[in-house]
Structure formats: structure tokens, C-alpha cells
Amino acid sequence: MELLWTALIGLLAGALAKLVMPGNDPGGCIVTMLIGIGGAFVATFLGQLAGLYQPGQAAGFVGAVVGAVILLAVYRMFVGRKKT
């Protein structure tokens, strides 16, 4: 159930990350949503590692958005460079 909740938060975080970082994404909306899910999982992992979250506790929405924005910026940097 924890993974499902993290994935749902990630979908919303990916959409919000797209609003925070507008622009032409190389992968489109679906890739942005997947990056949001990845951001939620990264935020959960790093939060548990830093002691902000207990084991089995998912990252909050703000952490997921921050993780998604970071992953989206890295994705744009690497994928955008390949296309030019």
C-alpha cells in the first residue's frame, strides 16, 4: 500500500513540477509524470536516510515535488543535450 500511495503522490508531484518548470520537455507529459513518481521515491528514500521519515513512511507532497523538480532538471539537462 505504501508503494501505491507514493506513486499517487508522485503523479501529482510530476504535474506540479511541470507547472513550476514550464518548457518543452523532451519526453512529454507522460515522462514528466514518471519523473514525478521517481521524485517521490527519491524523496522517500532520502528522507528516511536523513531521519525525516520513519521506515515505511512515504515522503510528503512537498518533498515529492522537490524531488520531481530536481529529477526533471537533470532529465532536461541530459536528454536536451543529446538532441542538439
User: What is the pTM assigned to this prediction?
Assistant: 0.74
Distance CA 7, CA 62 (A): 14
Helical H segments across 1-84, by residue range: 2-20, 28-50, 61-83
Query: pLDDT of 38-84, one tens digit each?
Result: 888 888 888 888 888 787 777 778 888 888 888 888 888 887 665 55
37: closest CA among 3, 75, 79?
A: 3
Q: How many CB atoms lie within 10 A of CB 33?
A: 21
Residues 6+ apart with CB under 8 A from 73: 21
